[in-house]
Structure 1
């Protein structure tokens, strides 16, 4: 874990809200000049605290209307099958998040597709064909009350 001071935390919180904010704006808000603000950002990037900057899309506006959580059970829990499954899932575009979990199933996948037909094809041709998969349960999202990537640092 990397220890962040109060200014680093303020800086990271601001960047999470708007990563396109310019250095001058950010510096003004955190009470520093532009050069130390820039140097702090570069240090946070280099240390891996800031991994990357992305544009967050509105799924519906780009035609992705169906969001599904897939609970996946593997045939066996061997290192080889786990690695094989994870490598395969990482290559599937429809899977936007994959979590190895403890509980009634082994993996929780967050899948986003254009429509139900697309999900059917994904399940039939991409997920169910993986020889490490024993069972898949699908839970369809009806609506979302909160979606964020922001980790509020205090």
Structure 2
């Protein structure tokens, strides 16, 4: 079975949901959970990966245990309007190791950066780096407490709603 030119079926969605919650599970454990043979499960996972539904497998580190105690959200505005200059700026933002996420926005600001630093001094140094990139305006908000942080997409929500009621 291939997934090319075909939407994902319920088993594929289950596999993706299992993997996004714990990518370290063995193929045989995933197979048990979706009631398939290990070879069939392996083939499905390879097809799912081949078709771009999985970007990468990573370990999510504990930032505080590693000394990165200051999480910040930084809104930035630019005065750049030339396409090439915007691409150059975005490449420079992507290259900054402190940047965990960078989003292009509509509204008052052009970008939102989620960054992590070890302390206020490192944050100040990061803001200096931004200033050297020609940023017109910066607004920084420090995260006092993280209420929820997730990498899990709600892909099984539709499946739950479509199940017949007993």
TM-score past 0.5 threshold: yes
Aligned to 1:137: 139
Structure 2 match to 1:118: 122
Question: Number of matched residues?
Answer: 152
Match of 2:20 among 16, 20, 29: 16
Distance 2:98 2:131 in 1: 14
Match of 2:130 in 1: 127
The partner residue of 2:56 within 52, 56, 81 is: 52
Cα distance in structure 2, aligned partners of 1:43 and 1:142: 42
Question: For 1:152 and 1:39, how far apart are their aligned partners in 2?
Answer: 24
Gaps of 5+ in 2: 157-166
The answer to whether residue 44 in structure 2 is matched with residue 40 in structure 1 is yes
CA shift at 1:2, angstroms?
A: 6.6
Q: SS in structure 1 opposite 2:28? A: helix
Equivalent residue for 1:26?
A: 30
What is the CA-CA distance between 1:80 and the residue it aligns to?
A: 2.2
1:62-73 aligned at under 5 Å gives the runs 62-73=66-77
Please state how far the C-alpha of 1:56 moved relative to its aligned partner. 0.4
* In the alignment, structure 1 residue 106 sits paired with structure 2 residue 110: yes
1:82 corresponding residue in structure 2: 86
Q: 2:154 is matched with which residue?
A: 152
State the shift of 1:75 in Å.
1.0
SS at match of 1:88: helix
Distance 2:67 2:7 in 1: 41
Unaligned 5+ runs, structure 1: none
Superposed CA RMSD? 1.3
TM-score (norm. length: structure 1): 0.95
SS at match of 2:153: coil
Runs of 4 or more, structure 1, over 4 Å off, are none
Question: Between Structure 1 and Structure 2, whose CA radius of gyration is higher?
Answer: 2
Q: Secondary structure at the match of 1:61?
A: coil
